[in-house]
């Protein structure tokens, strides 16, 4: 197992969690951004994260350690969530329809808060893993310094 | 007289010592194979050092272990050489 | 005469110092608009000379240098702070590993010079 792999994996994980955090924050920030009558406006987004390599069972790649890095997570896409907008009664709003309703994105605030917390914790986990990899490698450098 | 000497000497045993002595002249062979091994180990360590320097995928412990292996192997040969030289000096100083 | 490994390790230490400068510059400019991240060009040069089986001078033209990062797909590269920190950690570790490996490797020669008396 080469020493760069653990850093590459942790780095990829941090990238993914960063994106998940950004998207959740974006959803929360736009939770009350009114969608225009023409339908133009924000739709809640969600992140599709996956591994690069689905093709073979994980265990067989564990044996070929060089391929481990190809299992590092990556962002496969950011897609719009399939939720309909919420209707809020706001008569007199310039974008209100004839019944006095405006549309705002159907952001599930609870779910987005949960995403933020899990992304944060997973990010911390990646940092811990990277620091552990570093101190492990530094221990490997101590080989032979006893004499 | 001859019988009594024969009684002391287990000729078979002396023969063994003799064959051991002729075999021990091949110490130089041992020395040369060990030295070749040490040289090979140092070359391996050099290759690993090159990989580490070129940022190629290589495990740090592999690099360090190969270097230590080479160092120990070479140190072994050196120490054996030192002991042999000491023994040679002792033989030279021996009163006959 | 230094071995090939030692010669490359020496260049790699130079490259590690330069890489530290590049990463430090990237971190310092993380909020600078229009800043193009820097990187160090070294491994590419090594790879290009590793093919020719000439005499000892094949490392002659290899000099690590700092250049601007470029993305193949035409996107402007951006500085990601956490990725720079990851790179910084890797570089620090690489530098330490090189130093330690060189020091242990030269201790083999010390054995030869001192005839194993140390």
User: Token digits for C63?
Assistant: 């000099």
Q: For every residue of chain B, which 3-state class applies, written as one string?
A: CHHHHHHHCCHHHHHHHHHHHHHHCCHHHHHHHHHHHHHHHHHHHHHHHHHHHCCCCCCHHHHHHHHHHHHHHHHHHHHHHHHHHHHHHHHHHCCC
Chain A residue numbers with beta carbons less than 8 Å from the beta carbon of C97 are 3, 137, 141
Q: Write the pLDDT tens digit of every residue in B12-27.
A: 444 444 455 555 568 8
ipTM of predicted assembly, 2 dp: 0.85
Chain A, residues 99-138, CB within 8 A of chain B, namely: 137
Looking at chain C, which residue has its C-alpha nearest residue A8? C86
Query: Cβ atoms within 10 A of the Cβ of C65, count?
Result: 11
pLDDT band at C69 (very low <50, low <70, confident <90, very high): confident
Query: Cβ atoms within 10 A of the Cβ of A54, count?
Result: 8
**Which of A141, A144, A147 should we substitute to test contact with C (largest number of C Cβ atoms within 10 Å)?**
A141
- B68 reaches A (C-beta below 8 A): yes
Looking at chain B, which residue has its C-alpha nearest residue C3? B46
Q: What is the pLDDT of residue B5?
A: 42
What is the pTM assigned to this prediction? 0.81
Mean pLDDT of chain C: 87
Chain C residue numbers with beta carbons less than 8 Å from the beta carbon of B81 are 115-116
Cα separation, A94 vs B6, whole angstroms: 128
């Amino acid at each position: 197992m080469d020493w760069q792999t653990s850093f590459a994996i942790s780095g990829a994980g941090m990238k993914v969690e960063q994106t998940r955090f950004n998207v959740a924050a974006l959803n929360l920030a736009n939770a009350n951004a009114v969608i225009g009558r023409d339908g133009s406006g924000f739709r809640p987004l969600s992140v599709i994260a996956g591994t690069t390599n689905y093709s073979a069972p994980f265990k067989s790649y564990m044996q070929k350690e060089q391929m481990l890095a190809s299992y590092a997570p990556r962002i496969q896409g950011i897609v719009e969530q399939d939720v309909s907008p919420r209707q809020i009664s706001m008569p007199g709003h310039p974008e209100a329809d004839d019944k006095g309703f405006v549309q705002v994105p159907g952001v599930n605030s609870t779910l987005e808060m949960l995403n933020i917390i899990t992304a944060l914790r997973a990010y911390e986990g990646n940092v811990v893993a990277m620091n552990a990899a570093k101190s492990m490698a530094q221990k490997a450098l101590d080989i032979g310094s006893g004499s | 007289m001859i019988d009594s000497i024969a009684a002391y000497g287990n000729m078979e045993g002396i023969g063994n010592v003799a064959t051991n002595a002729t075999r021990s002249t091949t110490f130089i062979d041992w020395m040369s194979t060990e030295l070749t091994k040490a040289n090979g180990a140092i070359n391996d360590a050099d290759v690993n050092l090159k990989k580490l320097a070129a940022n190629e995928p290589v495990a740090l412990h592999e690099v360090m272990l190969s270097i230590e292996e080479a160092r120990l192997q070479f140190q072994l040969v050196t120490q054996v050489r030192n002991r042999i030289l000491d023994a040679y000096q002792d033989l030279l100083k021996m009163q006959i | 005469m230094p071995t090939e490994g030692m010669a490359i390790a020496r260049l790699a230490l130079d490259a590690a110092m330069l890489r530290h400068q590049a990463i430090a510059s990237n971190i310092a400019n993380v909020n600078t608009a229009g800043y193009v991240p820097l990187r160090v060009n070294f491994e590419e040069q090594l790879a290009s000379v590793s093919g020719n089986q000439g005499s000892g001078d094949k490392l002659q033209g290899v000099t690590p240098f700092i250049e601007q990062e470029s993305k193949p797909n035409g996107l402007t590269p951006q500085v990601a702070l956490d990725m720079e920190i990851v790179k910084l950690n890797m570089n620090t570790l690489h530098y330490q590993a090189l130093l330690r490996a060189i020091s242990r490797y030269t201790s083999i020669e010390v054995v030869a010079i001192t005839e194993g008396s140390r």
